[in-house]
Amino acid sequence: MIAAVLPEGISTAYHHGTDPHVTLFPEEEPFVARAVAKRRAEFTTVRGCARRALAALGRPPVPLLPGERGAPGWPAGIVGSMTHCPGYHAAAVAPAEDWRSLGIDAEEDAPLPPGILDMIALPADRAALAALPPDGPAWDRILFSAKESVYKAWFPLARRFLDFTEAELALSPDGTFTARVLVAGPVRELTGRWAAGDGLVVTAVTVRG
């Protein structure tokens, strides 16, 4: 499903549930040495997805270590993103010569818990949500997911945390969205795509090289 929201030239891989056949590199083990079983399974499965996506680009398997603010460290010449939610794990990677950055996110297709929208949405976000068809997917959840993808694509370029309220976002029923970053940085406007189905919503943002 994640491939549906990404352009050609970006390699993706996904897995439903957790994958017990994936093993971690010794360098990755310390990051989940004290983690509960659920967190360890998520960490491991999504890295299995990432290594499969890298293999499709002809890249060998390598350790993928969390770096600053948890962002995964990718091999030289590669940009990428990982995501997981209950029952779904995915990764996307691309050559850095073609893409400056990318971000993906997956969430359950269900309304946000009470109070979360108040924490993440600006007045402009709410106005854009109100204009969307009421019989569509969980628009507030897609907004949340899209802002996650915006952050994941923006952080590697800016090396700065981006709060949910530091980007205005407008969703379109046609499966696209635009984001306007409200703080100084290397990119002030980002575009992305979203899709919903099989109980999931997925979003992606790409920045061309």
| Statement: residue 24 has pLDDT above 90 | yes
Region 23-52: what's the mean pLDDT? 98
Rounded distance between C-alpha atoms, residue 130 and residue 148, angstroms? 20
Task: State residue 83 phi and psi, 5-degree precision.
Answer: -155, 155
Left, alpha or beta for 70 (phi > 0: left; psi -120 to 50: alpha)?
left
Which domains are delineated in the chain? 2-98 (3.90.470), 105-208 (3.90.470)
Rounded distance between C-alpha atoms, residue 103 and residue 47, angstroms? 15
Name the band, by pLDDT with cuts 50, 70 and 90, for residue 154.
very high
What percentage of the chain's residues is helix, strand, coil (to nearest 5)?
30, 30, 40
pLDDT of residue 31: 97
Helix/strand/coil for 94: strand
Helix/strand/coil for 205: strand
Task: Report the chain's mean pLDDT, rounded to a whole number.
Answer: 97
| Statement: residue 68 has pLDDT above 90 | no
Distance of CA 195 to the CA centre of its chain: 13
pLDDT of residue 76: 97
Tokens 């068809």 belong to which residue?
Answer: 133
Strand 99-108 to 78-85 pairing: unpaired
| Statement: residue 56 has pLDDT above 90 | yes
pLDDT 10s digits, 173-199: 999 999 999 999 999 999 999 999 999
Name the band, by pLDDT with cuts 50, 70 and 90, for residue 38.
very high
pLDDT of residue 70: 85
| % of the chain residues with pLDDT over 90 | 95
Residues 91 and 74: beta-carbon distance below 8 Å: no
Per-residue tokens: 58: 């002809």
Q: Is the dihedral of CA 37, 70, 162, 83 positive or negative?
A: negative
pLDDT of residue 69: 82
Residues 68 and 26: beta-carbon distance below 8 Å: no
pLDDT of residue 102: 98
pLDDT of residue 95: 98
Q: Single out the residue of 130, 202, 205, 122 nearest to residue 168, CA to CA.
A: 122
pTM: 0.96
pLDDT 10s digits, 88-127: 999 999 999 999 999 999 999 999 999 999 999 999 999 9
| % of the chain residues with pLDDT over 70 | 100
H/E segment holding residue 152:
helix 139-158
